[in-house]
Amino acid sequence: MQEIKLYAMTCGWITMPAGFFLAGQTGNLAVPVPCYFIEHPKGTILFDTGLETALQSDNADIVKEALGIFAKITTVQYQPGEDITSRLEKFGIDPKKINFIINSHLHFDHCGGNVAAPNARWIIQKREWQAAQKDENIEKQIYSPHHYDLGHDRIEVDGEYDVFQDGTIILIPTYGHTDGHQSLKVKLGDQTIILTADACYLKHSLENMTLPDAMVVNDPESMINNFKLFKKLQDKGAKIVFGHDPKQASTLTDGEIKRIYANDL
C-alpha cells in the first residue's frame, strides 16, 4: 500500500481572551488557525477548513458581521493568500478535487473554508449537525449555516468512524467543547498522530489538565475525559497535535502547507 501523507498549514491567526483557552488566564492570546490535508491511497481529506475569506476584508463592518458574537473579543490576522484555497493551490492541489471534508466541529474558525471544496463528501458527527440546526444556536451565532450548510453530500456518523475501513484514518468522538466535537487519529507507518482540534487547545492544557473558560465548554466532564484519553494514547506512543498551540504550530509550518513527519513531533 502507498504511504499516507499528512500536511499542516496555518490559515490565519486569531487573538481572543486568554481565558478562552486556559481558564483563569488574563490578557489576550494570539493563536494559529490550523488546517490539515491528508493523502491516502483511497482519497484525499481536509481536516478543518479555517476562516471564511470575508475576514480578509479591510472593511470593519464586513469583518464585524462575519465574526458575529465574537466580534467584540476577537481580532483576526488573516491576509489574502492565507485562506485554505490559496494554501492548497500554491502547493498544486485543486480543492475542487478533494474527496472528503472532515470538520472537528462547526465553529467559525474550523469550517469557514468548506465552500472551497464543493465536490467533497462531508463527514460530521450527527450530534454536531443536530446542534448546528437548532434555531437558538443559530440565533446566538454559535453556529453560522453559511459556513457549513452548503449542499455537500453529508455523511453523519455516530461515534468512532474508520474513514477508509483500514485502520489508518479514524474519527474519535471527543464531545465536550461542543455537543459533537471529533478529533482525528492518523496512522503514519508505525506511528500514530492525534489531531485534537478544540478538544485540547494547548500543550499546557493537557499537561496541567486545565480546561478553557466555562463559557466555551459545553460539557466539562467530557472534556476532562478527552484529556485522559489523549494522555493514555500519548503514553502508548501517540504524537499529539494540539488545536491552537502557537509554539507547536511554529514547528509544523510557517504558514505554508508542509508535510508532518511523526519524528518531528
Segment 172-201, tens digit of pLDDT:
999 999 999 999 999 999 999 999 999 999
The distance in angstroms from the start CA to the end CA of the chain is: 24
Residue where the block lists cell 466555562: 214
In the 8-state DSSP scheme, what is residue 3? Answer: P
Q: What is the pLDDT of residue 2?
A: 78
- What is the distance between the alpha carbons of residues 210 and 42, in angstroms, rounded to a whole number? 38
Mean pLDDT of the chain: 96
For the chain, state the CA radius of gyration: 17
Q: Print the SS3 string covering 234-260.
A: HHCCCEEECCCCHHHHHHHCCCCCEEC
Cell of 117: 471544496
Which domains does the chain show, CATH number per domain?
Answer: 5-264 (3.60.15.10)
Q: What is the pLDDT of residue 49?
A: 98
Taking CA atoms, 200 is separated from 5, 67, 116, 209, in Å, by 23, 22, 26, 9
Classify strands 191-195 and 239-241 as parallel, antiparallel or unpaired. Answer: parallel
In the chain, % of residues over pLDDT 70: 100
In the 8-state DSSP scheme, what is residue 2? Answer: P
Whether the pLDDT of residue 236 is over 80: the answer is yes
Whether the pLDDT of residue 13 is over 80: the answer is yes
Q: What is the mean pLDDT of residues 34-54?
A: 98
Q: What is the pLDDT of residue 32?
A: 98
Q: What is the pLDDT of residue 1?
A: 58
Residue where the block lists cell 469550517: 111
In the chain, % of residues over pLDDT 90: 94
Whether the pLDDT of residue 234 is over 70: the answer is yes
Whether the pLDDT of residue 44 is over 70: the answer is yes
Residue where the block lists cell 466532564: 221
Segment 99-154, tens digit of pLDDT:
999 999 999 999 999 999 999 999 999 999 999 999 999 998 999 999 999 999 99
